[in-house]
Amino acid sequence: MSIDLLAVVLVAANVLGAAMAVPQAVKLYRTRCSEGISLSWAVISATVNAGWGWYGIGVGDLGIVPVSVVSVLAYLLITLLIVRHGRPAILAPTLAVVGATAVVALAGWLGGWAAAGIALGGLYAVQLSPAVVSVYRAVDVRGVSVSTWLIALVEAVLWGGYGLARVDIGLLALAVSGVSMSALVLARLVVRRPRRTRHLVPAPAFAAA
């Protein structure tokens, strides 16, 4: 991949990454419906994006930093909206943030920046997993933004191309996780089949003889 094309891919990935969470924040604000939107996804996303910013500075790849900063702010906004318009459990997201931070820090301490990047790439699957679970459990998915997940899919492909050109295993792991998880969410949103609720059929009443 030429240097010019690589620069275009990097800019496009940054723009999409920065914009990815915005449609979800807007839709959540408008609909006030947080069903199908995972609080764990939002807080882990903020944490992992902060980690990518730290990684970009550490390896001298400052092209990763802008999208990380904007994404952290966007996911924090989504977190606040979910808490405001729903009654999510707080313990699991808190433990997830602590766990994700510990994994990246430990990987960086043991194996340096390369190991930290691989850990961050692997955590992208962990980051998106709560969103996949929530959207498949939800009956009403009108609060979930299709645009956010389309952007996530394209962004993952772009980071995969950039990571391939830079021979960055962390970014390649991110790409694989992002494409697979985004596709799963989009499949649920496109189908939009409400779950059937089972109704108990009352037993027929017999007239007394």
> Given this model, what pLDDT does residue 63 score?
72
Most confident segment among 41-45, 101-105, 178-182, 192-196: 178-182
Cα dihedral 141, 144, 145, 151, rounded to 10, equals -110
Q: Tokens representing 59?
A: 């390896």
CA dist 178 and 194 (Å) reads 26
Q: Is the pLDDT of residue 152 over 70?
A: yes
Radius of gyration in angstroms for the set of CA atoms belonging to the chain, rounded to a whole number: 20
Q: Is the pLDDT of residue 163 over 70?
A: yes
> Given this model, what pLDDT does residue 184 score?
92
Q: Is the pLDDT of residue 91 over 70?
A: no
Q: Determine the average pLDDT of the residues in 49-65.
A: 82
Q: Determine the average pLDDT of the residues in 184-203.
A: 64
Mapped to the 3 state alphabet, what secondary structure does 63-123 carry? HHHHHHHHHHHHHHHHHHHHHHHCCCCCHHHHHHHHHHHHHHHHHHHHHHHHHHHHHHHHH
C-alpha distances in angstroms, 163 versus 35, 56, 70, 143? 34, 13, 20, 32
> Given this model, what pLDDT does residue 65 score?
82
Q: Determine the average pLDDT of the residues in 174-186.
A: 88
What per-residue string of b and e applies to 15-29 under the rule 16 or more CB within 10 Å gives b? bbbbbbbbbbbebbe
CA dist 10 and 4 (Å) reads 10
Question: Is 124:178 a contact under the CB 8 Å cutoff?
Answer: yes
Of the pLDDT bands very low, low, confident and very high (cuts 50, 70, 90), residue 92 is low
> Given this model, what pLDDT does residue 201 score?
46
Domains defined for the chain, CATH in brackets: 3-191 (1.20.1280.290)
C-alpha distances in angstroms, 62 versus 4, 65, 126, 203? 17, 5, 24, 69
CA dist 7 and 74 (Å) reads 24
Which three-class secondary structure state does DSSP give residue 9? helix
Q: Determine the average pLDDT of the residues in 139-144.
A: 80
Q: Which of 119-123, 128-132, 195-199 has the lowest mean pLDDT?
A: 195-199
